[in-house]
Amino acid sequence: MKEAISMRTNRKGQRRRMRLFFFFVLCFFIWTGYTLYLQSGVLAQKKTELETLKQEAAALQQKQEELTYEASRLNDQEYLAELARKRIFYTKQGESIYVIPE
């Protein structure tokens, strides 16, 4: 008889320990899910920021290529003469410039 009472209390204790264990496991899963949810929001924000920065980098790369091309053209004497004629109305001997209003 004492064994039957002892086994009942032992099972109650075992059930109590299992409930406590599953409660902690449930709390851990809830905490993990909540953290995952928060991190997914941050990740989405970082992805949009990355896309924006990639577009900006592509635009800057194109601008750099244009400026490199322009700098290489400045080494050409004919281009420099043409540029001087357009911007500061530079003329050669015997040439005259006529400015036509638009």
Among candidate residues 79, 18, 78, the one with its CA nearest the CA of residue 10: 18
Q: Check residue 65 and give its pLDDT.
A: 96
Q: Check residue 84 and give its pLDDT.
A: 83
What angle is formed at CA 95 by the lines to CA 93 and CA 100, rounded to 5 degrees?
A: 150
93 lies in a domain?
Answer: no
The count of domains in the chain is 1
Q: Check residue 3 and give its pLDDT.
A: 62
75 lies in a domain?
Answer: yes
18 lies in a domain?
Answer: yes
23 lies in a domain?
Answer: yes
Q: Is 0.75 surpassed by the pTM of this model?
A: no
Q: Check residue 63 and give its pLDDT.
A: 97
Q: Check residue 87 and give its pLDDT.
A: 83
97 lies in a domain?
Answer: no
Give residue 38's domain range: 2-88
94 lies in a domain?
Answer: no
d(CA 40, CA 67): 40
d(CA 98, CA 102): 13
pLDDT tens sequence for the chain (102 residues): 556 566 666 788 888 999 999 999 999 999 999 999 999 999 999 999 999 999 999 999 999 999 999 999 989 888 888 888 888 877 778 877 777 787
